[in-house]
A and B are shown apart, each in its own frame.
Chain A
Amino acid sequence: GAVVSQHPSWVICKSGTSVKIECRSLDFQATTMFWYRQFPKQSLMLMATSNEGSKATYEQGVEKDKFLINHASLTLSTLTVTSAHPEDSSFYICSARDLRRTNTEAFFGQGTRLTVV
């Protein structure tokens, strides 16, 4: 149980285009999902908290108009990188937590490698 799936695993896009990344909790409901960004050989930095049925909460310094987050259902959150540029190239990872269970950890997706050319 507690599987989180991200799609796609990797994507290459042209500069100026938009890319959507999906994060799905496959066997539990997640009212909250988290999006992280990881540059090569660096740690994970929290970008935003995705809340089902409401607006996402962005961390300081993260452009909400650049990184659009939608959490339309209890099992799906999407991150759209709009007007992507080469500096947006990174590894994006989502996590989800089953809030019905207390003191449980968040489960991570396998990540999405975005390369903007």
Chain B
Amino acid sequence: AQSVTQLGSHVSVSEGALVLLRCNYSSSVPPYLFWYVQYPNQGLQLLLKYTTGATLVKGINGFEAEFKKSETSFHLTKPSAHMSDAAEYFCAVGVSGNTGKLIFGQGTTLQVKP
């Protein structure tokens, strides 16, 4: 069975500070991993994904994540937070190597303080 755990349901940073959202996964097959962002009452927007190849993945809006197999982690980072980054973030793993069928983590609410 596959699962995703996001450490910290709520993260608060100051504008301009480093953003670090943690995600650990469990998977018996090589995982496909995703980070999505959700704004209130909206669907999900893909930030970045890891399927194969380079383990450091760069996404939109300055976000990046590194796949670390030894740590079963896929943490999301951004060097400098903007107010517009305040949202809900979800880490997800593709079920059995499927990039469409996803298991989501619990979500992390990112608050950005001025």
Contact = CB atoms under 8 A, between A and B. Distances in A.
B43 A110 contact: yes
Contacts, number: 57
B107 A108 contact: no
Interface stretch (A13-21, A66-74, A78-86, A97-105): A97-105
B112 to A, nearest CB: 18
Contacts of A56: none
Interface residues of B, number: 22
A42 interface: yes
- Is chain B's interface secondary structure helix, strand, loop, or mixed overall? loop
A32 interface: yes
A54 interface: no
Contact of A106 (B52, B90, B100, B105): B100
B113 interface: no
Nearest to B88: A41
B43 A93 contact: yes
Contacts of B42: 110-111
Contact of B99 (A6, A91, A104): A104
Nearest to A45: B104
A111 B45 CA distance: 12
A6 B43 contact: yes
Given A6-B43, A42-B107, A105-B46, A95 B100 contact: yes
A46 B99 contact: no
B107 A43 contact: yes
Interface in B92-114: 99-107
Contacts of B45: 108
Contacts of A42: 106-107
B67 interface: no
B57 to A, nearest CB: 12
A44 interface: yes
A103 B52 contact: yes
B51 interface: yes
A113 interface: yes
Interface string A30-44: 001010000000111
A106 B46 CA distance: 9
Interface of B: 32, 34, 36, 41-46, 49, 51-52, 90, 99-107
